[in-house]
Structure 1
Amino acid sequence: MDGVSSTPPNPWFDNAAFNDTLRRNKSIVCALSASYISSFAGYPLDSLKSRLQTTKTRISLLKLAGLVYREEGFIGFYRGLWIPLVTISFVRTASFTIYSDTKEYCRRKNYFSGDSMYDAAFAGGISGALSGSLISFGSAPFELVKVRRQLEYSIAATKGIQLIKPPNTIEAVRDIVRTHGVSGLYLGFRLHFLRDTSGTALYFFEYDAMRHLLGRERSGEQGPTPQWLPIPNSLIPFVCGSFAGVTSWALIYPLDVVKTKVQQRALANTPPRGVWETFHRLVRGPDPKDPKPVLAGIARIYRGLGVSAVRSITTHGLLWTFFDFTSQYIDDLS
C-alpha cells in the first residue's frame, strides 16, 4: 500500500454519462431547478396580489396578510402552490427552450444577429413572444385553477355561501368542469393569451437589452460591466432579471387585473361583463352617474402592484441567478 486511498467507482452510477446528460439538457435542468426555488420564494406574494386585485375595499398589504393568517392560517399563503410547482417542469422548461431555440434560429438565419443592443433586444422579444403565445395554451387551465384556489373565500362569498372548509385542488377542478364543462378550464383564455404573449415578449426584450448594456457579448460570454454600473458579475443576472420582471409586469398589470376579475365573475357564476366594460368599471366605478376620478380609478387598477413588484424582484432575480449558476456549474463539469 502506498498510503493513498481512492474511492472505487460506483458500478451502479456512471458519472461521465450523467454529466453528459446534464450538458445535453442544460437549458431544461437550469430552468427546472431555478424555477422551483424562485416559485416557492415568491408564491405568498403572488397569492396576496390576487386578493388585492379582487377585493372591493381598500386594505394595506400587512392588514391583508394578517387577515389571511387569522382566517386560513399559514397554509393560506401557499394555497394552490402545488399547481405552479407541478406545471413548472412544463411551463418554464418549454418557455426557455422555445426562447433559446428561436434565438438560435434567428442567429443561423442572420436575423437580428448584429452586435447592437437593438439586435439583442429584438431577438429576445420575438423569441419571448413566440414562447409566451405557445405556452399559454398549456398554462391557462392551471392558472385558472390557481386563481380559483387563491380566491376560494371571495368566490364563495359572492355565491352567498359560508365556506367552512375550502375544496382541495382536485375538487376545484371537478367543480369547474361540472359547472362549465371541460372548456371551462379556459375561462378568460383570450386575456390570458394576450397577457402571456405581450408580457413574455417585453420580459425577454428587456432582459436581453439589459444584459447587453451590462457587458454580455452576443456569444453569451460576460464581458466587463460599464463604468456607470460597476457591479460584480455574480449580481448581473439578479439585477437584469429583477428589472425585466418589474417593468414588464407593470406594463401589462392592468390586463392581468381585468383577466383576474373576469375569471372571478365566471367562477362565481355571476353574469359576465365584457373586457372594456370590466376595465371601465374598475377605473370609473359601477355608477355612471357618479364616476370615480380618473386618478383614483388608475390607483384601483394598480392595487397590488407594490406586492407584485416585490414578488417580481424576488422571483425573477432568483430565477436568473440560479439559472446562470446552474449553467456555469454544468459548463465546469469535467
Structure 2
Amino acid sequence: MRSSNSLYDPQAFNDALRRNKAVVCALSASYISTFAGYPLDSLKSRLQTIKTPITVPKLAAIVYREEGIKGFYRGLWIPLITISFVRTSCAASFTIYTRTKELASRHDFLNRSSALDAALVGGMAGAMAGSLISFGSAPFELVKVRRQLEYSIAQARGLHIEKPPGTLDAVREIFRVNGIKGLYTGFRLHFIRDTSGTALYFMEYDGMRHLLGRDRSGEQGATPPWLPIHSSLVPFVCGSFAGVTSWALIYPLDVVKTKVQQRALAGERYRGPFETLSRLIKGPDPNNPKPLLAGVTRIYRGLGVSALRSITTHGLLWTFFDLVSNYIDALPQ
C-alpha cells in the first residue's frame, strides 16, 4: 500500500507511461542509438566534404591525433537536444508516425493484412513526420555540420584555429553573419531529404516487419521459413535493413546538402544543388571532366561508414523501442 506521505504514485506513473508510450519509447531508444552511432556520423560528414580519397581508419586516426576522442563527439549535444525537441512534442516524428497509422486504421484506410498496405501506410506516416520535424531539426543539424566541419570551414576561409569555438559560439557566428535565416541555410534540401528519407525508411520498416510476422495490430508472430530468426532479433534486422537501404537511396542528396551548407558557412560563392552535384560528379573543370565512375564514387564516399552507422543506430533504435514498448504494455493496470 502506498504511504500517504509519499509523492510517488506507481499507478499514476504507469498510466502516464501508457498515455505517452510513443514518446517514451522513441526518446529512450534514440538517446542510446544516437550516442552509439555519433562517431560514425562525424566521420561520414568529414568524408563527404574532403577532396582527396582517404580510408575510414586513416581518417579516424587523423581525427584522434589532431582532436582527441572529443573530435568524434563534437556537436553531440546538438542531435541529443534535437531528439528531445522533436520527439517529446506533439509534432515529434515517432508520435506523428504512430498517430498517422492509428488514424489510417480507424478509417479502415489501406487496412488489409498485406505487406503492401503496411508499407504504404508506414510511408505516408513517415513522410508526414519527416516533413513536419524538418522545420525544428534543420537549425540543429546545420550547427552540427558546422561543428563537425569546423577545421575544413576555417581552412576554406584561410584561417588557422588552435581551439575550435564551442557550440554556442558557432550559433552566434551563424546568427551574426546571416541573422535567423542563417540557421535555415540549405533548408530546402534538408526538407526534401527528411521527407523522402523518412517516408522510405518507415515504408521499408513496416513492410519488412509484416513480412517477418508482425500483424497489423502490432503483435509479433512466428518468423517465416526463409528467415528463421528469433523474434527478439526482428526489430534489429528490420531497423538495420530500412536504415541502410533508405539512406543509400538519399545519400547523394545528403552529400549535396552538406556541401552546400559547408560552402555557405565558409562564406564561399553559392552554388545550387544541381551545380554542386554536377561538380561533384564531373569535377571542377568542365573541359576536363572526371570519368563517370570516379564521379559516382565521389558522391558515395563515406557510404560504407554511413551504412555501418545505420546498422548500429537503427538496429539499436528499434530493438530498444520494442523493449520499452513491451515493458510499458506489461505494466500492471
TM-score by length of 2: 0.97
The answer to whether the aligner puts 1:33 opposite 2:28 as a matched pair is yes
Q: How far, CA to CA, are the matches of 1:82 and 1:225 in structure 2?
A: 38
After TM superposition, give the deviation of residue 12 of structure 1 in Å. Answer: 2.4
The answer to whether the aligner puts 1:119 opposite 2:121 as a matched pair is no
**Residues 25-82 of structure 1: CA distance to partner in whole angstroms, max 9, x if unpaired?**
1111100100000000000000000000000011100000000001101000000000
Q: How far, CA to CA, are the matches of 2:231 and 2:119 in structure 1?
A: 20
More divergent stretch after superposition (244-253 vs 21-30): 21-30
CA 1:180–1:325 in 2, change beyond 3 Å: closer, same or farther? same
Residue 46 of structure 1 is matched in structure 2 by 41
Alignment of 1:211-250 (within 5 A): 211-250=209-248
Amino acid corresponding to residue 300 of structure 1 in structure 2: R
**Residues 219-262 of structure 1: CA distance to partner in whole angstroms, max 9, x if unpaired?**
11111110010100110000000000000000000000000000
Residue 317 of structure 1 is matched in structure 2 by 315
Residue 69 of structure 1 is matched in structure 2 by 64
Alignment partner for residue 185 of structure 2, among 167, 184, 187? 187
Residue 75 of structure 2 is matched in structure 1 by 80
Q: How far, CA to CA, are the matches of 1:154 and 1:7 in structure 2?
A: 59
Residue 197 of structure 2 is matched in structure 1 by 199
Residue 145 of structure 1 is matched in structure 2 by 143
Alignment of 1:264-283 (within 5 A): 264-283=262-281
Q: How far, CA to CA, are the matches of 2:282 and 2:122 in structure 1?
A: 37
Q: How far, CA to CA, are the matches of 1:119 and 1:282 in structure 2?
A: 38
Q: How far, CA to CA, are the matches of 2:2 and 2:206 in structure 1?
A: 44
- Describe the SS at the equivalent of 1:240: helix
Contact 2:2 2:9 (C-alpha < 8 Å) held by counterparts = no
Amino acid corresponding to residue 99 of structure 1 in structure 2: Y
Alignment partner for residue 107 of structure 1, among 105, 128, 140? 105
Q: How far, CA to CA, are the matches of 1:120 and 1:239 in structure 2?
A: 17
The answer to whether the aligner puts 1:15 opposite 2:10 as a matched pair is yes
Give the superposed CA RMSD. 1.2
Contact 1:35 1:92 (C-alpha < 8 Å) held by counterparts = no
TM-score by length of 1: 0.97
**Residues 161-208 of structure 1: CA distance to partner in whole angstroms, max 9, x if unpaired?**
001111100000000010111100000000000000000000000000
After TM superposition, give the deviation of residue 8 of structure 1 in Å. Answer: 6.8
After TM superposition, give the deviation of residue 86 of structure 1 in Å. Answer: 1.4
Say how many residue pairs are matched: 329
Q: How far, CA to CA, are the matches of 2:100 and 2:6 in structure 1?
A: 40
Alignment partner for residue 330 of structure 2, among 312, 321, 332? 332
Residue 93 of structure 2 is matched in structure 1 by 95
Q: How far, CA to CA, are the matches of 1:131 and 1:44 in structure 2?
A: 26
After TM superposition, give the deviation of residue 91 of structure 1 in Å. Answer: 2.5
Q: How far, CA to CA, are the matches of 2:61 and 2:2 in structure 1?
A: 54
Segments of structure 1 that go 5 or more residues without pairing to the other structure are 1-5
Amino acid corresponding to residue 279 of structure 1 in structure 2: L
Q: How far, CA to CA, are the matches of 2:81 and 2:40 in structure 1?
A: 19
- Which portions of structure 1, spanning 4 or more consecutive aligned residues, are displaced by more than 6 angstroms? 6-10
Alignment partner for residue 132 of structure 2, among 111, 118, 134? 134
More divergent stretch after superposition (101-110 vs 122-131): 101-110
Alignment partner for residue 249 of structure 2, among 248, 251, 271? 251
- Describe the SS at the equivalent of 1:181: helix
- Describe the SS at the equivalent of 1:218: coil
Q: How far, CA to CA, are the matches of 1:79 and 1:48 in structure 2?
A: 11
Q: How far, CA to CA, are the matches of 1:100 and 1:38 in structure 2?
A: 20
Segments of structure 2 that go 5 or more residues without pairing to the other structure are none
The answer to whether the aligner puts 1:300 opposite 2:298 as a matched pair is yes
Q: How far, CA to CA, are the matches of 1:91 and 1:204 in structure 2?
A: 17
After TM superposition, give the deviation of residue 15 of structure 1 in Å. Answer: 1.1
After TM superposition, give the deviation of residue 152 of structure 1 in Å. Answer: 0.2
Percent identical pairs in the alignment equals 73
